[in-house]
Amino acid sequence: MSRLEEEICAAVENQVLSEPFNAVMMKEACPGWDDRDYHLCLADHAVGNGHNPELFERVSYGLYCLTRPVPPAELGIRDETSVNSAKRDSAVSMKTFTS
């Protein structure tokens, strides 16, 4: 992972960059890179790119989230049997948010 990808992931984890985010928001949270680097980073590391690690998932036109798995405890789940339903509920609420 390059330094820009590391900075973006750290910015999300440290709540400097909120999800979903776009290239402009990335630039504000992680300044100092060429404008095209932010767009290329998203394109090169988006789910389905076929050749680089998939770090970002497109949730709407121009909006992305990190692809890291969310720990069950963060979703308020105590056992693994409820993980799939919580993920489904989370996906439905994200779809509602982006519609």
List pLDDT tens digits, range 41-82: 999 999 998 888 888 999 999 999 999 764 444 444 455 444
pLDDT grade for 95, boundaries at 50, 70 and 90: very low
What is the Cα–Cα distance from 94 to 41, expressed in whole angstroms?
23
Domain that holds residue 54: 3-98
Give the residue carrying structure tokens 């390059």. 2
pTM: predicted TM-score of the whole model, two decimal places: 0.64
Query: What pLDDT does residue 51 have?
Result: 81
User: Average of pLDDT values for 18-39?
Assistant: 95
Q: How many domains does the chain have?
A: 1
